[in-house]
Amino acid sequence: MASAPFDLSGKVALVTGGNGGIGKGIALGLGRAGANIAVVARNQDKSAGAVAELEALGIQAISIRCDVTDVDDVDTAVAACVERFGGLDIVVNNSGINVRKLPHELDLAEWQTVIDVNLTGVFLMSKAAYPEMVKRGGGKVINIGSMMSIFAHETLAPYAASKGGVVQFTKACASAWAKENIQVNTIMPGWIATDMTETLRINVPERYETIRARTPAQRWGRPDELAGTAVFLATSASDFVTGTAIPVDGGYSIQS
């Protein structure tokens, strides 16, 4: 008998950047739906805190140190998750960084670092997870895009390029892997209040307020508000949904 929609009992989810912000909000949501969680990130002190928070809710969770730009790290992380939980059903590619500069002020290393983490990291983790999902008879890959997947800003060239690339990579994987019952989708968060965006509120308060005013909901979002969409995309409720890019943005992207 098929599992009930929105039930992740017995499923295994690996969340990159799952130790804070949007990633932790999604990890908590998947865990509450029944999934076992592998928190994959570089900062292990921060990851230990996230795991403790998950375990306090009765969720089975582990922390795995990984640099998503390092193919050996990525392969090791997937292997460690499979060894601990017996398989892998869901990957959330959430790790991301940003450099705020005008395009002509960027040097190659800065450009490459953003592309490597935000786009190449998605490729490496998805590729490593693919054979494990095939073994399970299917799986779910959830890539985290951005408003910069569809918009642009003069100081966000590499970030926008990488997040636009995430949407296109998602479509390619969705087409390639449909026959293996692997659905691949993107969530495009709007402006979410996290540690990363807190610097914008402090340093450029007028930009922070402009974003709030443009958003029909008249506020910034919370990390936990991504969880419902992630749970939908991770469960059997979305088995006929693939290759999509879903904004979760309080209406920001519908404004002219």
Q: What is the mean pLDDT of the chain?
A: 95
Catalytic residue among 130, 159, 208, 252: 159
Look up 159 and say whether it is catalytic: yes
> pLDDT tens-digit profile of 37-65?
999 999 999 999 999 999 999 999 999 99
**Which one-letter DSSP state was computed for residue 206?**
H
The residue with tokens 């190449």 is 120
Domains of the chain: 12-247 (3.40.50.720)
Contact 61, 39 (CB under 8 A): yes
Q: CA–CA separation, 211 vs 205, rounded Å?
A: 10
Please give the backbone phi and psi of residue 69, each rounded to the nearest 5 degrees, phi first. -90, -5
Per residue in 61-95, pLDDT tens?
A: 999 999 999 999 999 999 999 999 999 999 999 99
Rg (CA), the chain: 17
> Alpha carbon of 143 to those of 15, 33, 169, 234: distances in Å?
10, 19, 9, 11
In percent, how much of the chain has pLDDT > 70? 99
